[in-house]
Amino acid sequence: MVLHFLVKGRVQGVGFRWFVQREAAELGLRGWVRNTDRGHVEIVAAGEADLLAELKAALRKGSRGSRVDAVLEDELLESEGAQLGAFEIEGAW
């Protein structure tokens, strides 16, 4: 299963991407996380449905210092997850 999440709230500049990367890697998910130019955080994650549900629960809770106002979710085609590797942060320095 492949899901796209968009997390809205105070999620930039508070370590949220690193939080997501750690949570997803611990669950053994594939994919990426990155900031958007609108102040949100975007995630594409691939794995078993129960593990993706655990990630979604972590996204709703958020990292220390963050404030999550909304987690939007869309299911993607399985083929969109074919090229995903180990979970990584995109656009990090």
Please state, in angstroms and rounded to a whole number, the distance separating the CA atoms of residues 93 and 91. Answer: 7
Pairing of strands 30-35, 41-46: antiparallel
pLDDT of residue 91: 82
pTM above 0.85, yes or no: yes
Residue 93 clears pLDDT 70, i.e. is over it: no
Is residue 39 included in any domain, yes or no? yes
Domain count within the chain = 1
Is residue 85 included in any domain, yes or no? no
Q: Burial code of 72-88, b = ≥16 C-beta within 10 A, e = fewer?
A: eeeeeeeeebeebeebb
Residue 92 clears pLDDT 70, i.e. is over it: no
How wide is the angle at C-alpha 5 spanned by C-alphas 1 and 76, nearest 5°? 35
Catalytic residues: 17, 35
What residue numbers bound the domain in which 14 lies?
A: 9-78
Q: How confident is the model at residue 14 (pLDDT cuts 50, 70, 90)?
A: very high
Fill in the DSSP letter of residue 86: B
Phi–psi pair at 81, nearest 5 degrees: -95, -5
Is residue 83 included in any domain, yes or no? no
Which CATH number goes with the domain that contains 73? Answer: 3.30.70.100
Region 29-40: what's the mean pLDDT? 97
Per-residue pLDDT of 36-84, as tens digits, reads: 999 999 999 999 999 999 999 999 999 999 999 999 999 999 999 999 9
